[in-house]
Amino acid sequence: MVMGWQQHSNTPGRVFGVVVDTIIRQAPCDVVLLRPSSQASEQQRWLIPVAGGPNVRRALDLLPGLVSLQADTDIRLCHVSPKRPSPSVLRYLDQIATRLGTQIKGTIQSIALRNPQTAEAILDIARWEQRDTILLGASREGLLSQVLNGNIPVLIAQNPNFTVILVRRVSHFEDGEG
């Protein structure tokens, strides 16, 4: 299911609004939310934060289709963590870049950063590198965790300067993923 949304909800306990929040939680299929930027852009400069969850994996699976009509794409994969990036994180980024390189025409680069403010670091990268689209996996965090730590995809999605695409993979309890 592909849907658009305009802005953050002011309704207490809701992230995107009553309808969108309900669909995100209950849809029996993958959900892709699109919030266009307030600034039109002809460029196709993507930023894709990766942390390894099933939603970002699904977003990466959809990426070749999302960019297929573009002549040349500039993609920056990023991993932001409060700790120093481990060799396994660097290998993971390289594996993703290699796989995408076989499917997408364009430039694919990656960066791993140490920063305790994940959402702010991602937005800083997007601004510094003049990215116009941010592709995110939806958070699977519970409400309490979101209140205490903030929901990184939501914090990023609230910035109107970038087109944000948020992907939530359908849950498959029978295969052990939730």
Is pTM beyond 0.75? Reply is yes
136 forms beta bridges with 166
Could you tell me the CA-to-CA distances from 67 to 44, 89, 100, 101, 119 in Å, in that order?
A: 8, 25, 11, 12, 24
Displacement of CA 22 from its chain's centroid (Å) = 20
- Percent of the chain as helix, strand, coil, to the nearest 5: 35, 25, 40
Question: What domains lie within the chain, and their CATH numbers?
Answer: 2-172 (3.40.50.12370)
- pLDDT at res. 4: 79
- pLDDT at res. 68: 81
Residue 148 has pLDDT above 60, yes or no: no
